A and B are shown apart, each in its own frame.
Chain A
């Protein structure tokens, strides 16, 4: 009886050993020949509906403009006493006044000051304004060049010429001022054929017309006298045909820097 039990136990161990060897053999064989149909297959990872792409910043703008939130002064220095120009919150045409932000900022006595190009005369009036007096910055990618010698207006966007037209400029007694300015508003649907269908207001001010009721600011507009274009015919404004000003209105945003050379 004892002998029989010992023999049975030995057989059981032998059978277990065989099963282990067989199982290892199956695993090795499976590993070498790939998954069988009976094995579970994990689902593929879901893909996001969002494309994993970064977006670069794009071309450097020609300028930034900011609305004037409250009438203020442009100062020679940040927090300084000397005033370069008074800057109202509204233009003479009733639109929000704007300035060109020049990308310089300084903190003085806890207040942030930024340097800006402001409306006025003579050429290129720059001053420091409290940041709190200005609204948000808007980038502009266009710039307009007025060539007083060739009597042309050329609009550039991101380094490419996108518009060119012949223009009328100030007569010798009332010349269009030269320098760096910007477009600060756009008027339309008014009833004055003299200015054509669209008129842009600029920050340039004519020295000869500064006592005008609206301040003597130079505009860029259409005309009811296309026969005078090109020429030196205006009181300082830049005129072009109505067809050209309508084309320009589709291309040139408010805030565009204007260089008159």
Chain B
């Protein structure tokens, strides 16, 4: 069984394309989008789901990529909770963070509708069975997701998606700070956080080999069972 990169999730290449465009944004674009307030924004955000406009191709690609990361995080916390091999203290925060991450998966799937991609297969290679490694991996992914969401906020087309990403971002940052504190790492060492690129996210996720191909358990060969 060969391992795949996170790119395996990006079937059409739309995610990669959109992220290539991410570097073209400017601070002015961000502030133009972010500072808009008032009744127009409120009305746009409160439009019933059925009447909401379709997401743009770029927003779909961004949300699909986020969904891939949320699938990964939700699967990791869920597996740790189910196996129960980490310490009770770790299980305590993992349950809370896992419930948040599963909520993120459901919410982004809801935003994407028919454009939601399926979850890939994961192999956490013992991380969910080792207290120290699990905690360190959790910190790395929470930091990474918060940094990625900062980059995406600059580029999304829709105010609705921008607000969604902002509400995701603050929770991921809280996760990062909480788990950092538990792991004995300073929660907020620097005055400012830096955004991160899609290329770095893909590289880091790829280096974990967590995303794998599904094992082949169905076949067409003649059965050789006892009969």
* Contact status of A94 and B221, CB under 8 A, knowing A112-B126, A131-B126: yes
> Would you list which residues of chain B between 184 and 227 have a CB under 8 Å from chain A?
212, 215-227
A212 touching B161 by the CB < 8 A rule? no
B42 touching A43 by the CB < 8 A rule? yes
Residues of B within 8 A of A55 (CB): 99, 102-103, 105-106
* Contact status of A137 and B79, CB under 8 A, knowing A43-B38, A54-B99, A96-B216: yes
B226 touching A236 by the CB < 8 A rule? yes
Mask: chain B, 84-124; 1 = CB below 8 Å from A; 0 = not = 11000000000100111011111110110000000001111
* Stretch from A7-15, A143-151, A193-201 contacting the other chain: A193-201
Greatest chain B CB density within 10 A among A93, A194, A206 is at: A93
Indicate which residue in A94, A131, A214 contacts B125 across the interface (CB closer than 8 Å).
Answer: A131
* Contact status of A60 and B129, CB under 8 A, knowing A43-B39, A93-B221, A219-B223: no
* Contact status of A98 and B217, CB under 8 A, knowing A47-B45, A55-B105, A131-B126: yes
* Contact status of A174 and B226, CB under 8 A, knowing A61-B82, A103-B85, A136-B123: yes
Is B21 among interface residues, defined by CB-CB distance under 8 A? no
Is A132 among interface residues, defined by CB-CB distance under 8 A? yes
A240 to chain B, nearest CB (A): 13
Residues of B within 8 A of A250 (CB): none
> Would you list which residues of chain A between 86 and 145 have a CB under 8 Å from chain B?
92-96, 98, 103, 105, 107, 112, 114, 131-132, 135-139
Is B163 among interface residues, defined by CB-CB distance under 8 A? yes
Residues of A within 8 A of B102 (CB): 54-57
Indicate which residue in A132, A138, A190, A217 contacts B220 across the interface (CB closer than 8 Å).
Answer: A190
Indicate which residue in A48, A61, A209 contacts B163 across the interface (CB closer than 8 Å).
Answer: A48
Is A259 among interface residues, defined by CB-CB distance under 8 A? no
A43 touching B41 by the CB < 8 A rule? yes
Residues of B within 8 A of A215 (CB): 224
Q: How large is the interface on A (under 10, 10 to 19, 20 to 34, 35 or more residues)?
A: 35 or more
A221 touching B38 by the CB < 8 A rule? no
B223 touching A199 by the CB < 8 A rule? yes
The residue of chain A having its C-beta at the shortest distance from the C-beta of B167 within the complex is: A48
Q: Give CA–CA (A212, B225) in the complex, Å.
A: 9
* Contact status of A131 and B227, CB under 8 A, knowing A50-B107, A67-B215, A93-B221: no
Residues of B within 8 A of A194 (CB): 227
Q: Give CA–CA (A132, B166) in the complex, Å.
A: 38
* Contact status of A51 and B110, CB under 8 A, knowing A131-B125, A188-B218: yes
Q: How large is the interface on B (under 10, 10 to 19, 20 to 34, 35 or more residues)?
A: 35 or more
Is A192 among interface residues, defined by CB-CB distance under 8 A? yes
Residues of B within 8 A of A47 (CB): 42, 45-46, 163
B218 touching A206 by the CB < 8 A rule? no
Q: Give CA–CA (A105, B84) in the complex, Å.
A: 10
A46 touching B224 by the CB < 8 A rule? no
A203 to chain B, nearest CB (A): 12
Is A248 among interface residues, defined by CB-CB distance under 8 A? no
B46 touching A57 by the CB < 8 A rule? no
* Stretch from A21-29, A74-82, A158-166, A179-187 contacting the other chain: A179-187
B216 touching A95 by the CB < 8 A rule? yes
Residues of A within 8 A of B124 (CB): 136-137
The residue of chain A having its C-beta at the shortest distance from the C-beta of B96 within the complex is: A54
B216 touching A190 by the CB < 8 A rule? no
Indicate which residue in A48, A53, A114, A217 contacts B226 across the interface (CB closer than 8 Å).
Answer: A217
B219 touching A187 by the CB < 8 A rule? yes
Mask: chain B, 149-174; 1 = CB below 8 Å from A; 0 = not = 00000000001110110111000000
Q: Give CA–CA (A234, B161) in the complex, Å.
A: 60
Residues of B within 8 A of A35 (CB): none
* Contact status of A218 and B225, CB under 8 A, knowing A189-B220, A254-B218: yes
**Can you list 10 contacts pairing A with B, beta carbon distance less than 8 Å?**
A50-B108, A50-B167, A54-B100, A92-B224, A96-B1, A107-B130, A112-B130, A135-B121, A192-B222, A206-B226
Apart from the given pairs A103-B85, A170-B226, 16 other A-B contacts in the complex at a CB distance below 8 Å: A51-B107, A54-B100, A56-B102, A64-B83, A114-B126, A131-B129, A132-B125, A132-B126, A135-B1, A136-B212, A187-B219, A191-B222, A212-B224, A219-B225, A219-B227, A234-B226
